[in-house]
A and B are shown apart, each in its own frame.
Chain A
C-alpha cells in the first residue's frame, strides 16, 4: 500500500491525540503550551495534506502559514502571561492557580 492521504491523516490524528493528552494531564503551564503546539502542528499537517491531495490549489499552504503566524503570537502572549502568573503566585501549576486575585 503506497503512502497516500490516509497515512498523513493518521499521523496527524495521532499527533493531535498526544497533544490533547498533554493538555489534559500536565500540571505545568509550559507543558500545556507544548501540547497546544502539537495540536496546531497536527492541524497544519491536515491542511497541507488536503492541499496536496485535494483539488484546492494552494489555499491549504496559506492557511498553514497563517496558523504558524498565529501560533507564534499565541506562544509569545501565553509565555508572558505564564511569567506574570509565576511572579504573582510563584507557581505555574495550573491546578494550583484557582483564585482571580492574589
Chain B
C-alpha cells in the first residue's frame, strides 16, 4: 500500500528533526551543534505546518532561526578563544545521564503511546493568522500586553547586564 504524502512528509520532517537534534547533543564542536540546531528548528517548523499551524511555523522560523540561533552563535563566538581552536566542549555525568534520560524517555514513551487519547479530528481553518490575531486582542489581551512588557524589560535587562 502506498503511503500518502502527508505521512511521507511527516516522517521526513520527524527524521530531520530527530537526527539533527541527536547531532546537536552528541557533537563535540559547539559551532557544529549550533548549525545542526538550525535543521532541528526547520524540522519543527515543518511539523507545525503539518499540524495546520502556519502562523506558528513562520514565527518559529523568524524568531528561532533568525533570532535565537544567531544569539547562540554570538554566545559561542564571544565566549571561546577562536584563535586557539578551543571550541570543543567536554561532557560530565555521561553514564548517569544516559541511564536516567533513557529510563525517563522509556517511561514517557510508554505513557504517551498507551494513553487513550480522545482524538477529535476536525479540520481546522488553514490560514490561522486572522483567528489568532482576533484572539490576541480579545480573550488574551492581558497576557499579550504583559508579554510585551516582559520582552521589553528582558531586552533592557540583557543590554544593561551585558554592557557592565
* Chain A residues with a Cβ under 8 A of chain B: 2-11, 13-22, 24-31, 33-35, 37-38, 41, 44-45, 48-49, 51-55, 58, 61-62, 64-66, 68-77, 79-84, 86, 92-93, 95
CB-CB < 8 A to A49: which residues of B? 51
- Chosen A-B contacts, 18 in total, with CB atoms closer than 8 Å, are A3-B50, A5-B117, A6-B117, A15-B40, A17-B101, A29-B79, A37-B64, A37-B72, A44-B56, A45-B48, A54-B120, A64-B56, A68-B64, A72-B68, A80-B157, A83-B78, A84-B161, A84-B164
Known: A8-B47, A70-B150. A25 touches B92 (CB 8 A): yes
- Residues in A with CB closer than 8 Å to B84 are none
Q: Which A residues are CB-close (under 8 A) to B128? A: 58, 61
Q: Quick one: CB contact mask for B68-90 with A, threshold 8 Å, 1 for yes?
A: 10011011101100000000011
Kindly count the residue-residue contacts between A and B in the assembled complex, taking CB atoms under 8 Å apart. 223
Residue of A nearest to B94 (CB): A25
**Least CB separation from A24: chain B residue:** B97
Chain B positions near chain A (C-beta within 8 angstroms): 4, 6-7, 10-11, 14, 17-18, 21-22, 24-25, 30, 33-34, 37, 40-41, 44, 47-48, 50-53, 55-56, 59-60, 63-64, 67-68, 71-72, 74-76, 78-79, 89-94, 96-98, 100-101, 104-105, 108-109, 112-113, 117-122, 124, 128, 131-132, 135-136, 140, 143, 147, 150-151, 154-155, 157-159, 161-162, 164
Q: Given the interface contacts A21-B101, A48-B51, does A76 sit within 8 Å of B93 by beta carbon? A: no
